[in-house]
Amino acid sequence: MSKSCLLFDNDGTLVDSEYLCNLGIAHAFLELDVTLDADDLVKHYRGMKLSEIMASISRQYSVELPDDFISSYRKRVASLFDKHLTPIEGVVYALDHLPHRKAVVSNGPRQKIEHALNVCQLRGYFNDNIFSAYDIGYYKPNPQIYLDVAAMMKVSPNQCVVIEDSKVGAEAGSRAGITTLFYNRYNETLSLPHVTSFNDMKQLPKMIANIS
């Protein structure tokens, strides 16, 4: 069956946001006298749900998070996005050469997704096909997030391709039984059914054209 619908992750797949998000975490915890390295945070927590990341760090360092910790963090990240956020290298070329219907499927909140896409001038490629785990109620690696989005896009999973950059996201696509292309910018080892790795976004149009 030919592929008609492309389901893109956002952070690290469309926009180069993962370092900025984790820099925001490092800055936020520094106010609690906890010193963290943003690069290390990317390696350990990439693709994970924010509340789980915050809970893990607070347990590790035995600190209690203030009530406004998450909201303060989000404001900090929004400012970092405004100043520094860029599209993933090659992603504009890929989107320009992919005539398929497209959607964004992210573990992040919708406001953050839309902000990132607008800053990087990518919103027009997706129209209103923006789906947040916060609204759907399932978070990657749960495959139901992709199955629900396919249903909302009125296509079968067999008609979709998932494009992800994290193991958590690739696992969600794989467990949903959807062909998944894993943007492997960190040369990670990944062995999952239905998953193929690549490391250059400009390869994406040809790869999708070759999927039967």
Active-site residues: which are they? 9
Closest by CA position to 170, among listed 179, 160, 180, 178: 180
Contacts of 100 (CB under 8 A, 6+ apart): 3, 4, 5, 6, 208
Q: How far apart are CA 29 and CA 180, in angstroms?
A: 35
Q: How far apart are CA 172 and CA 158, in angstroms?
A: 15
Tokens (6 digits) for 82? 């405004």
Backbone region of residue 114 per phi and psi (left: phi > 0; alpha: psi in -120 to 50; beta: other values): alpha
Tokens (6 digits) for 35? 């010193």
